[in-house]
Amino acid sequence: MLFNCSLLSQTDSLPTETDSEPDTLFVMQKSPWGALVRSAILPGWGQFYNEAYYKIPVVLGISGWLIYNYIDNHNLYKKYRDLYISTNLAGYKEYREFYRDQRDLFAIYYVFAFIANLVDAYVDAHLFDFSVTEDFMRKTQMINVRFNLP
């Protein structure tokens, strides 16, 4: 019964002088929206802005591969479309539809990769000031947050 009473008791949460806000103001070093806009203009530029240089070849490589496959499938689609129009064979129609579907799928894949690029740049800018390091003497994790005072 005593345990029950302690759970139902309420604490008084009136503000006191010790609860005042600290005098420091946290200012982010990187702008998340700036990184997002940079990546929207040129994929990989947001990662460069966030100093995540190792991600730039990944972003450019995936984007280039998807664009190459889109163009290749579009050219094959046009080739089999023209062959189907000139010969009216059912085999060419199947190839035409296959390459059209592949072309459209690569366009959708590129849109998903572009959105992932934007999200990565935005989140990376948010987490730029967040640091998790290990204290090698104690073998424990430490979390450091940087504050810039005006």
pLDDT tier, 5 (very low <50, low <70, confident <90, very high otherwise): very low
pLDDT for res 2? 44
Residue 33 lies in a domain: yes
Other C-beta atoms lying within 10 Å of the C-beta of residue 39: 26
Q: Which of 39-43, 104-108, 145-149 has the highest mean pLDDT?
A: 104-108
| Domain hosting residue 46, numbered range | 28-130
Angle at 107 between CA 122 and CA 65, to 5 degrees: 75
> pTM of the full predicted structure?
0.69
| Beta strands, E only, the chain | 130-135, 140-145
Residue 20 lies in a domain: no
Residue 46 lies in a domain: yes
Residue 89 lies in a domain: yes
Residue 137 lies in a domain: no
Residue 104 lies in a domain: yes
Per the structure, the count of domains in the chain is 1
Residue 111 lies in a domain: yes
Whether pLDDT at 148 is above 90 = no
Handedness of CA 32, 34, 37, 38 (dihedral sign): negative
In whole numbers, what is the pLDDT of the chain averaged over residues?
A: 82
pLDDT for res 3? 46
Residue 8 lies in a domain: no
pLDDT for res 147? 66
Average pLDDT (20-26) is: 62
Other C-beta atoms lying within 10 Å of the C-beta of residue 26: 11
For residues 142 and 50, which has the higher predicted lDDT (pLDDT)?
Answer: 50
pLDDT tier, 129 (very low <50, low <70, confident <90, very high otherwise): confident
Average pLDDT (18-33) is: 69
Helices and strands (H and E) in the chain: how many: 5, 2
